[in-house]
Structure 1
Amino acid sequence: MMVHDMKQRRKLLRNVSIRSRLLFGFIALPLVVMIICFLLYYNFSMQMIISKNQESSQHSVEMVEELFHLNMERLEDQMTEFCAQGIVYDMLLSDGESSVRKNFVAYAKMNMNLNGRNRLVLFNEKQEVIYDDAGEKEQGNLSLPSTLDISWAYKKEHNGIFLTKRIVYHNETIGYVCGGFKEGAFSPSFTNASSISNMMIIIDKDNHYLFGQAAFPKGKNIQISQDMVNVNGKSYYHESKQIEGMDWKVVNLVSSEYVLQEIHSTRNMLFLYGVAILILEAILSTIVYHSIYDPIHNILVSMRKLDETNLISSQVEDNGKDEVHELSENFNDLLNRVQELVKTVALEQEQKRETQLQLLQAQINPHFLFNTLNTLHYLAILNEDNPVSEGISALSKLLRNTIVDSNEYVDVEEEIENVKNYIIIQKLRYGDLFETVYNIDEDVRHCRILKFLLQPIVENSILHAFEEDREHQILTIRAQAEKGCLKIEIGDNGKGFQEVEQSYTNKKLSGIGIMNIQERIRLMYGDKYSMNIQSEVNKGTIVTLLLPYRKGGITDVQGIDSR
């Protein structure tokens, strides 16, 4: 099935010109393959760069999250240590006595804990502010973000991060302390100059932007649930991680333009290389194409302008050493042979015209001969000389079959009739020296054999087998079908000869006629068919012909019984 399909495709290609196939094979096909390879490489490279960017971004997010968490724990520990000081308890339990307040203020300003804070607010158990080290404009406008034991909150109006802790004394809540911190207290990366290509930001549980390296408005919604983040008309790849112990997330945004900048540069470089390779490939392909197409085209042009009168001028000039050169040489040799054949045909036509003239002239001689024989035949009848009359009639029929009838094959029945006519003529000479017996099967009478195949054998039997002083000499002719072949036997009970080997080279049977029979059988029927001679001294000779069983020129071996 596959071989059949391949043959069908080849047949379809044969409907396209060689020029189109060469152009497709040398230019179009390589160009398509190059484009496909370029697209595959581009897609693979883009996916690889995006994957590497995701790995790098994920690693950066994990590092920032870990640093953020460590600083968060440090600040929580510091806040816990601050709240455990006795002066804090005194401040909350003294109802704001001036001396206690003075000592607390001094302690709060000189305390090294809560490094990086920019504000400290103390609330009593009623969540009323009893201390705030902020400026007068900001005092009193800060509320507790939560009533949990310890919690974090980002207040955009104060542009800071606030840590709130409950203060418990003897299992009772006596107040709260709230510390405000700048963004840099958790990681210096959040205070670095922002870059539009790579930004590390913090968002809350509702995906609202809190702070970071981006210049986004506070509270802007960042849709990290999508594959790509679109902010302010720009697309970003993103990686995020939940901060341990908080409901905030660290998000790293990387501009898609920045990520694909390298692959775009590679694409442009590959495009330039591709154009250069394409130009070079087109030049080389054109050279190769013309090296194949031009010689073939020259042969085609030479074939189209063939001129019988001068075939030499149509020969192809090709100095190459490839298969096309060999084809050109064979084409030129063919033209030379055709030129010779044209001359030979012209000579044969001239000879044929001469032969036709000779044949027309020769038709006069047989006509005169047959008229003369007919006159002799009627004279013999008038003189009541029956043997001479029969002999002349037989000779006339024999010559008519020989000279006038040009058919190479005759029926067995017609060939037997020629033999009978020949024997009638021979009896004019030998009289009743021998008798002839015919045993011809009905189913072989219309088999086709070569004309005058039996006469030379009969002639040899009459001339060499029979003796004038012997009686009851018989010539037997038998024809029958045997094993799908036609078998003809011509036997006599004459002198015979000593050599019993199957050969016709015996001196007594070395006539031209016998040799002609064997050669005609071999040339016309092949080595499968033959003539066989068997002879025994004083008993006779049998000549056996094995021929193809043919009727009307077609071999018929069906329904032939073995005899």
Structure 2
Amino acid sequence: MDRFLSKLSFWYFSIPFRRKTVCFFLLLVTIVTLIAEGFGYVFYRDILTKEISQQLYGTLSKIDDNISQSMNAVEQTSEALYENTVINSYLNADFSDVEQSKAASSVPNELLNVLMDSNGDLSSIYISRAQAVSLHQGKLFDYAWDSIRLSSIFQLAEAQKGDPVWIYDYYTTSHLLTENNRILCNARISYHENGEPKALMLVNLKESALTDALTVESNESGSSYLIMDNEGTAIAHSQNSFLDIYTAHLPFVDHILAQQNSFSFTINGVDYLVNWSPSQNYDWYLVSFTPFDYIDNNLANLFYIILMTFLLSMVIGTFLSFFFSRGLTSTITRLSAMLPRVEKGDFSVRAPVRGTDEINQLSLQFNNTLKKLQDTIDELSAEQVAKQMIEINALQEQINPHFLYNTLESINSLAILRGYKDISQLVLALSHMLRLSVNKGNAFLTLEQEIDRVQNYLYIQNIRHDGKFRLICRIASGTEKQPVIKLLLQPLVENSIIHGFEYKEADCVIAIRSFHRGNTLVIEVIDNGCGISEETLQKIEATLLPETKPGNDIYGIYNIHQRIRLHYGAQYGISFTSFAGHYTKVTIILPYDNHKDGGPNV
């Protein structure tokens, strides 16, 4: 078995990628066809079920509108009774006996009769009050006021405090008013000024009004419809309903109360699709029942449709597999052809990019990788050339100054012989500066040596400017032996003298401060000169950006910044802070060498 699997694996990986792609697509289409034949029936049946459900939801919405029209007419009648002056005069009148109230009830009863005739959906109107006969029209029973107040209808209406309420009264403890003890009425209580109930008004809707609203003219699906309340009690049903209207708790109500949009349910051995929708105006549910036999009859030709569709899909899939595999493998083939050139060091090759899909993204990444490799090689070459030039310059610096040393030594000896001590000190300071500049060819000095060089430079400048400048050094312990590049501070001090103190005659102070923050050495050069204008400061900051050519007036600053970046990296350099008319501060950021071994921490 293992040998067979090994040979099969070898054979598979030996097939060209394009053939693998074609075989994969054909296999995929075949599998999809077999799965579609198995699940197509269920899938299409589900689609058809959803379409029928959508149609039924529309039907339920129309039914809801029909019910609302009938019930709105009842509500308008109830409102008219509540506001009618004749009815209210009868309810507010004090009668000495029953006979007097009977005589007074004739006119209000005639009004009720007119209202009944104007709305054919009304089954009865009933108005009951204390110490008087009731006003009523329609087929109903009359009860005493005390019995009325004990009924469930009165209690439900009283909870509304004068507002109307719809009541479906069935299976209650106190049945009133109708022969079959089942009533759908709009109830409302009128009150005296002292808050005591004055009368109960009931406007009853015919059951046939709801039955007619549930009857749909076009009903090809054979659906039946039902109205039920939020407790699962049937209120009305369509004429073709198979349900017992007197069922108190319908068997499928738990599914509706659980908010299942549509579901299947078996009733009397028949499977139904049940859809429901809450009424927009009343606290009821509208429910439809559609037999699944209607749905299955629409699926008779499904098998033939699926078979023909997927046979066509296999033909189209075969064609597309050849087309797609060609587009897929052509890019990979081009990349493979370019790799030998890359192996030989030719990083200028580029793959064509004709889109944004994964294959073209691979070509784009291939091109970006080659470009980054070429840029890295160029950068390393430039750095290597720069380092070689530094070494060459260092060797030249070891040779060139010997003549100057000898000349300065001769001048110093001559000055001592003739008693010119100031000239001797000046020569010694200049000689010391030159020796530190050369430093035996080394590109680095300690911070202490660099400050010593600045002190010699200021000594020379003070002789020239009659002691105008003063130097203050605050060097943190541990930083004085830190290695720094040569000519780091002296050009900055010279810049302060030339530009900062040009118009200042006295009290010219230059301060140098150093400290370290973690692995960073911070050196600050501060002068109390004239400062730098905002425009000039922006120009300096722009010059310090990469690939920027400086002007001659700030070339020294650019030189220091670039030498720092070259030796230590792009994260190091100098920055300026200035307040025009008060001060200028140059901050130098270098790496801090914890070992202080005298070399650069690159």
TM-score with structure 2 setting the length: 0.37
Larger of the two Rg values belongs to structure: 1
TM-score with structure 1 setting the length: 0.39
